[in-house]
Amino acid sequence: MPSSGVSVENVEKISTATSAAMEIVLSQAELLKELTATQGVVERKTTIPILSNFLFEAAGDRLSITATDLDLSLRTSCAATVKKEGSCTIPARKLYDYVKLLPEGAITIKQMENHWVQIRAGRSNTKMVGMARANFPALPTFPSGSATKLPVLVLRNLIAKTIFAISNEESRYTLNGALMVIKAESIAMVATDGHRLAHIETKSAFPGVNGELKTLVPRKAMNELKSLLDQTDQDFIEFAKDDSTLFFRIGGRLLTSRQLTGQFPNYEAVLPRDNNKAVVVGCADLMGAIQRVAQFADERSGAIRMKLDKDEIRISSSSTDAGESEDVIETSYKSDPLIIGFNSQYMLDFLKVTNSGEVRLEFKDAQSAGQVRPEGGADDYKYRYIIMPMRI
């Protein structure tokens, strides 16, 4: 789905529109497309009521739509016939749900007294209770002078291959995001929750970068960025940051995020160096076996047992409640036998995003971290997944 084009000048012009009696006419389809893009940013439950609203700003021939939760914000826009320039705020979820139900065609949005907003489409006439424009928080502006262009296809792949490994524990603050490392000749992304680590790197030219540009991207920003990248037809996006904020400009949409502070762990120190037991297995075969066996794993731990023996891998699980299960995969394994336990979901997370060809499993012993990576092929990406073993 192509993203709406809008120049920086138009956005800045829109943001200065403060007239009280805004009135615009625009397409239901165009409006719905932009409201859909902003849904992930709007807070469902918030102690600050204004954050449940969209900010609408009309100027020139554009309507700018902004949503924020203070940590994350998204500004987008669409074409509109602006009869009266101005700005207002409208309840975000209610507006989205209502516009979805309207037929395609023209919608008129007009600001009334006491922050009420009238919406007319065909024979439908609705009034919504807004809030004062002055209550909506001010947002940072894009620092154009320091922007770096990032290729959309590359960034989309990096996010997909790492986002699932970000920690969900709020107390582990610096693990609540992924580390993006940009060098003049490469870009990498790494995420960990302390139990597993996903690392991917690829060669790409960033001529304006000197040394390393390291950035911690919060999990919610990663989710929104992934969604925006999936919708755009742009080849590149613009990335910039200042002391406190990250900026991602995707066509006519601007995503901003508060930076995570603190030191990301020294992940290079935990990468296995001497895993000398290796086996190559079909990704689909391994995923199918683990999915079947995991049905009978302990619900809380999800633990499965992998036994590597001559020319085979035996994957098994058991629980007092569900029973037990075993699957056998033929391989060319020739090293010493090894029995090791893993969280089945952690292994499946990796296999689902790899999802083709063969994977290489590398182990040292039952107590040391295992490493999994795609095997062979002409892939330009260096992708590896470190997973800590479980006691079984």
- In the chain, the number of structural domains is 3
33-45 pLDDT tens trace: 999 999 999 987 8
Structural domain contains residue 288 = yes
Give the pair of three-digit tokens for residue 314.
Answer: 């035996």
Are 154 and 229 contained in the same domain?
Answer: yes
pLDDT digits 0-9 by tens, 184-197: 999 999 999 999 99
State the pLDDT confidence band at 145, using cuts at 50, 70 and 90.
confident
Identify the three-state secondary structure at position 380. coil
Q: What percent of the chain has pLDDT over 70?
A: 94
Q: Tell me: do 302 and 367 sit in the same domain.
A: yes
What is the H or E stretch that residue 171 is in?
none
Alpha carbons within 13 A on the beta-carbon side of 40: 14
Q: Containing domain of residue 217, as a range?
A: 146-268
Q: Is the dihedral of CA 140, 145, 146, 148 positive or negative?
A: positive
| Alpha-carbon span 222 to 220, nearest angstrom | 5
Confidence band (pLDDT; 50, 70, 90) for 1?
A: very low
> Same domain for 193 and 240?
yes
* Residues 154, 264 within the same domain: yes
Question: Is position 1 within any domain?
Answer: no
Q: What is the pLDDT of residues 76-134, one digit of tens each?
A: 999 999 999 999 999 999 999 999 999 999 999 999 999 999 999 999 999 999 999 99
279 and 292 belong to one structural domain: yes
Check whether residue 232 and residue 288 sit in a common domain. Answer: no
Q: What is the pLDDT of residues 245-303, one digit of tens each?
A: 999 999 999 999 999 888 898 988 888 989 999 999 999 999 999 999 999 999 999 99
Question: For 56-68, b where at least 16 C-beta lie within 10 A, e where not — what string?
Answer: bbbbeebbbbbbb
Residue 289 shares a structural domain with residue 372: yes
Task: Look at residue 377 in the predicted model and tell me its pLDDT.
Answer: 62
Where is the domain boundary, 237, 252, 268?
A: 268
**pLDDT 10s digits, 191-247:** 999 999 999 999 999 988 889 999 999 999 999 999 999 999 999 999 999 989 999
State the residue for tokens 């914000």.
Answer: 73
Q: Where are the alpha helices (DSSP H) in 295-354?
A: 344-354
Query: What is the predicted pLDDT for the residue at 391?
Result: 87
Structure-token pair, residue 235: 């080849």
- 9 pLDDT above the threshold of 70: no
Residue 141 lies in a domain: no
pLDDT above 50 for 75: yes
Pair (126, 150) in one structural domain: no
Q: Do residue 36 and residue 110 come from a single domain?
A: yes
- 193: exposed, middle or buried (C-beta count within 10 Å: 0-12, 13-18, 19+)? middle
* 371 belongs to a structural domain: yes
How sure is the predictor about 11, in pLDDT bands with cuts at 50, 70 and 90? Answer: very low
How confident is the model at residue 366, as a pLDDT?
95
**Contact by Cβ (8 Å): 324, 372:** no
Claim to verify: residue 284 and residue 368 sit in the same structural domain: yes
Residue 140 resides in a domain: no
* 2 lies in some domain: no
Averaged pLDDT for residues 18-40: 89
Integer Cα distance of 160 and 355 in angstroms:
12
- How far is 311 from 330, CA to CA, in rounded Å? 6
Q: Please give the share of the chain, as a percent, with pLDDT higher than 90.
A: 82
Beta bridge partners of 116: 129
* Cα separation, 245 vs 247, whole angstroms: 7
Q: What is the mean pLDDT of residues 383-390?
A: 96
Domain boundary residue among 109, 135, 161? 135
Residue 392 located in a structural domain: no
Residue 174 pLDDT: 82
> Is the Cα torsion angle 48, 49, 54, 55 positive or negative in sign?
negative
Domain boundary among the residues 246, 268, 290 is at 268
pLDDT value, residue 20:
52
pLDDT reading at 8 higher than 50: no
Burial 111-139 (b: 16+ CB within 10 A, else e): beeebebebebeeeeeebebbebeebeeb
In this structure, the answer to whether residues 224 and 165 fall within a common structural domain is: yes
Centre a 10 Å sphere on the Cβ of residue 337 and count the other Cβ atoms it contains: 10
Strand pairing partners for 134? Answer: none
pLDDT for 170 = 75
Please indicate, yes or no, if residue 366 is contained in any of the structural domains.
yes
If asked whether residues 23 and 37 sit together in one domain, one would say yes
The CATH number of residue 24's host domain is: 3.10.150.10
Query: Residue 18: pLDDT band by 50, 70, 90 thresholds?
Result: very low
- For the whole model, what pTM was predicted? 0.89
